[in-house]
Amino acid sequence: MCGIVGYVGSRDAVVPVLEGLQRLEYRGYDSAGISFKNPEGKLQVVKKEGKLDNLRSVLETQKPKTSIAIGHTRWATHGHVNETNAHPHGNDLFAIVHNGIIENAFELKESLQAEGEKFHSETDTEVFLVLLTKLFKQTGDIKKSIIETFKQIEGNSAVVILNKDENKLYAIKRSAPLVCGRRSGRESGELFLSSDPYALVGYVDRLFFPDDEILCELDPEATFIHFYDLEGNATEQFQKEARSTQETLSTKGEFEHFMLKEIHEQPFLTKQLAGFYSEGVGKELLDRVKGKKFDHINIIGCGTAWHAGLVIKNILESELRVKVTIDLASEFRYRDPVLEKNELALFISQSGETADTIACAELCKKKGLTLYSIVNVKGSTLYRMSDENFLIYAGQEIGVASTKAFTNMVLVGALMAFTLKGEDAIKTLGSELNLLSDKIEALLSRENELKIIAKEIFQEKGFIYTGRNIYFPIALEGALKLKEIAYVHAEGYAAGELKHGPIALIDEQMVNISIVGSELFEKTLSNTEEVKARRGKILVVGVKENSKLKSISDFYFGLDFDGLKYFSPVLVNVVMQILSYYIAKEKGTDIDKPRNLAKSVTVE
């Protein structure tokens, strides 16, 4: 989703801003732009529809020299994808970039228009610019005008502002990601900001995460970032984090796509997880929460994280015998849920920045619940809001379609479940984690079999993924993965639900990807028979070397579940990931950056 990068300091500002935007490409965008002060002291805005390279080629011709710049990758929410709506938005006084949504933009725009103010784009962002400029012309005070403008907008936003007459950047946010960074050592100081710390890796040695409604002033003269509250008073309301400059940027290595690389990282990540929770902060966390009792557990997440939550729900319920409910964050936040103090709110998120999930965390915090998160990005908004964070240690996930994060979410969720049960979770699950790692490794060595199946089925009309009980979430996740990257219609269904409606879809051009484990074997088999009877194509992913499964299926991918008590759904899911990948490859889609999708959904 939209990305922000800003720089002020002693080097050519366009370079780190473009580099930062490039690193944020994985988040998804449809246009890009940059604003900077040119040698005559005027604000210049350059923006282009489409890929960042379009913007880069214009800048290569212009070769601007500047020490201050802000850049943005836009994922359209208000207004079409075009150059006018792309950010930055600017006039001769200010240039701004914005992430999020101004919910009262329509009303503000109407009243500004009634006062004679002019607008050029369809965006909500321009409302901020126009209001800011109007207030600044009245007061002549930049900080006050930004704060006053910010007070008038509703919704979650992060805004970065560049003024023509100052060599400073300003930023302010509400429930939207924003990070400031400083690189020490250079004579005149170098200050950065972004919506994602990944953009700043290698550039900064200190990160500052401002709280909501705190104005950040990045002043290279002072070589420091000043923070102010909404009254304009200096404040310390930010969190500081030292980051190693050794942190590395992800590369694809020998793989054609990040997604494939991330799928292949899973055996290693699975194996190393027990290590993270056997000592240091991981062990301390498990010791802290061991045996904690809650009356009810509310799991909340979106998309793939929600699917991981479904698997975790099963483990929590069967091990703790406590009531667990699970909600999609976008629903939970508006359905006025009954919440009591002695309940646990368990949030699951790779990015820790998903707007709906964060809104639910705010709601649960207000209601006095305990907040735990299963999260990948340390320092993310969700991480900072939670009472305890179960990091999944999956490393940076660049492919928009989530793979390794799902796996590690489930595994960490299981570690959490057994810890709450009062057990030594590493003792209970350590050997199964190792076994799973070996089984994923063995599965990856059979990748070619799935590639061949993908070639056979990629042109079919539609795909119905089915599974029962512990495999139902995997049917949902398998279908989601295929939709996302292959742009074909796919649905995940509980196998027992087929005859309640979707079986009407079955014909010879429909593929049923049927997950058949040893639990409920006969029942799932008979659901698959019903599809077969209606001429559907059957791909069974299930227990190995089974003659019944062999005879019913057009394609059969047997799996060795021996020894897996809790994690067989994870193993099956890796099959789904590989299959989606190769179907998408046959289709020739943009696998790492599928159309219309964003890696981190920071708007509602």
List residues binding ligand F6R (CB under 6 A): 302-305, 349-351, 354, 357, 401-402, 480, 484, 600-601
Task: Note whether 486 and 454 are within 8 A (CB).
Answer: no
| Closer by beta carbon to ligand F6R, 146 or else 572 | 572
Structure tokens at 574: 């890796």
The least distance separating ligand F6R from the CB of residue 107, rounded to whole angstroms, comes to: 30
| Closer by beta carbon to ligand F6R, 127 or else 474 | 474
| Closer by beta carbon to ligand F6R, 483 or else 537 | 483
The least distance separating ligand F6R from the CB of residue 351, rounded to whole angstroms, comes to: 3
Structure tokens at 572: 């099956």
Q: Which residue is nearest to ligand F6R (CB)?
A: 303
The least distance separating ligand F6R from the CB of residue 401, rounded to whole angstroms, comes to: 4
Kindly report the CA angle at 370 between 364 and 375, in degrees rounded to 5? Answer: 85
Say how far apart CA 146 and CA 170 lie, in whole Å: 9
Residue corresponding to tokens 């698997």: 311
Active site residue 365: no
Instruction: Name, in order, each residue with C-beta under 8 angstroms of 245's C-beta and a sequence gap of 6 or more.
Output: 201, 202, 204, 205
Active site residue 599: yes
- Nearest CA among 419, 427, 426, 429 for reference residue 291: 419
Amino acid, res. 523:
K
Strand order through the sheet with 343-349? 323-328, 296-301, 343-349, 370-375, 388-391
The least distance separating ligand F6R from the CB of residue 493, rounded to whole angstroms, comes to: 18
The least distance separating ligand F6R from the CB of residue 52, rounded to whole angstroms, comes to: 21
The least distance separating ligand F6R from the CB of residue 202, rounded to whole angstroms, comes to: 23
Instruction: Name, in order, each residue with C-beta under 8 angstroms of 202's C-beta and a sequence gap of 6 or more.
Output: 245, 247, 249
How many angstroms separate the first and last alpha carbons of the chain?
11
| Closer by beta carbon to ligand F6R, 129 or else 482 | 482
Task: Note whether 537 and 508 are within 8 A (CB).
Answer: yes
| Closer by beta carbon to ligand F6R, 17 or else 601 | 601
| Closer by beta carbon to ligand F6R, 215 or else 382 | 382
- How would you class 264 by CB atoms within 10 Å of its CB: exposed for 0-12, middle for 13-18, buried for 19 or more? buried
The least distance separating ligand F6R from the CB of residue 380, rounded to whole angstroms, comes to: 9
Instruction: Name, in order, each residue with C-beta under 8 angstroms of 331's C-beta and a sequence gap of 6 or more.
Output: none
The least distance separating ligand F6R from the CB of residue 373, rounded to whole angstroms, comes to: 10
Task: Note whether 397 and 403 are within 8 A (CB).
Answer: yes
Catalytic residue (choose from 2, 216, 302, 364) = 2
Instruction: Name, in order, each residue with C-beta under 8 angstroms of 532's C-beta and a sequence gap of 6 or more.
Output: 538, 552
**DSSP summary character for residue 390:** E
Instruction: Name, in order, each residue with C-beta under 8 angstroms of 364's C-beta and a sequence gap of 6 or more.
Output: 298, 300, 339, 345, 371
Amino acid, res. 272:
Q
The least distance separating ligand F6R from the CB of residue 399, rounded to whole angstroms, comes to: 8
The torsion angle over the Cα atoms of residues 103, 108, 110 and 112, rounded to 10 degrees, is -150
The least distance separating ligand F6R from the CB of residue 494, rounded to whole angstroms, comes to: 20
| Closer by beta carbon to ligand F6R, 142 or else 358 | 358
Catalytic residue (choose from 47, 109, 593, 599) = 599
| Closer by beta carbon to ligand F6R, 70 or else 412 | 412
Strand partners for 72 = 4, 33
Instruction: Name, in order, each residue with C-beta under 8 angstroms of 301's C-beta and a sequence gap of 6 or more.
Output: 308, 309, 328, 329, 347, 348, 349, 354, 357
| Closer by beta carbon to ligand F6R, 109 or else 404 | 404
- Nearest CA among 179, 30, 49, 174 for reference residue 101: 174
| 94-100 and 43-49 strand pairing | unpaired
| Closer by beta carbon to ligand F6R, 129 or else 579 | 579
Enumerate the active-site residues: 2, 599
